[in-house]
Amino acid sequence: MALEKSTLTVTTRKGLSSRRREEQIARILSLVVLLPGMAAVLLPVVWMLAVSLEDMSQVLAFPPSLIPNPLVLQNYPDGLSVLPFGQYFLNTTQYALLRALGVVLSASLAGFAFARLRAPDRDVLFVLVLSTMMLPYSVTMIPQFVLFKWLGWLDSYKPLIVPGWLGAAPFFVFLFRQFFKSVPEEVFEAAKIDGCNYPQLYWKIMVPLSLPAFATASILVFQYSWDELLGPLIYINSNAKYPISLALATLRSSLGSSPWNEIMAVSIVAALPPVLLFAFFQRYIISGVVVTSK
């Protein structure tokens, strides 16, 4: 009997060691496959950072060097002083925050309605909302421009902010609906028994339970708004109202030549807010996407 137990123990240990060895081999193979892709993604970023710290003689040298010698930190204040980038950063922050707030509020309310309210042809209406995602922006661009011109909203951020407050974000409606449907029905029934109506169910039950989904939607909308170029290019005409994306597009013509070191320096600074936002709140994005995908 003791011999059988010792044999079983040895077999179990061998099985565990072989499984660990297989896992280690799988991790090594995964790293070998992913490293070229990581290098391809990071190389442009490393090149941008290197160029932003070089003088023009190094930038134009061939073969190019990724190690600045010497470091030229003056490229950053020189590039940021060409245009009033402080105002542009403020414009972009206000616009992105207002748009994120409107999208999160309207999409969460619509997602709650599609998930928990019972109405005739509710699912058909939800399919119609999702079908708008298949329309490219180029199809609706001209009708929207005519509408906003008729409303007198040109040269303002209203065409970029107001639609987000009216539920014009079907992807996030879908995201919130999936998250709300993952909440057990028993929670709603218990709240209804306690006397909660639908607004209270949304505010007191859904909002506290759905913080990962709210964080995910807020960060994604903020990042998209920060980087968007086409919308501001169509509707914003005054230089004082430019967002950072439109300011970067006009930076080269403002400089009169091509000082790539200063251009890259400003580009690095402009890319930092969404990158840092994603880095600090990455776990909320992952948890929100994982839960809503179930």
pLDDT average, residue stretch 227-249: 90
Q: What is the pLDDT of residue 87?
A: 92
pTM: 0.82
- Provide the mean pLDDT of the chain: 83
Pair of tokens at residue 179: 């998250």
Q: Hey, what amino acid is at 229?
A: L
Residues 6+ apart with CB under 8 A from 160: 95, 99, 225, 228, 231, 232, 235
Reported confidence tier of residue 261, pLDDT bands at 50, 70, 90: confident
3-state secondary structure 140-159: HHHHHHHHHHHHCCCCCCHH
Helices within the chain (DSSP H only) = 2-52, 56-59, 75-80, 85-116, 122-131, 137-151, 158-165, 170-181, 185-193, 198-200, 207-209, 211-227, 230-235, 244-255, 260-280, 282-292
Tell whether the torsion through CA atoms of 93, 171, 161 and 106 is positive or negative: negative
Domains and CATH numbers, the chain: 2-75 (no CATH), 78-292 (1.10.3720.10)
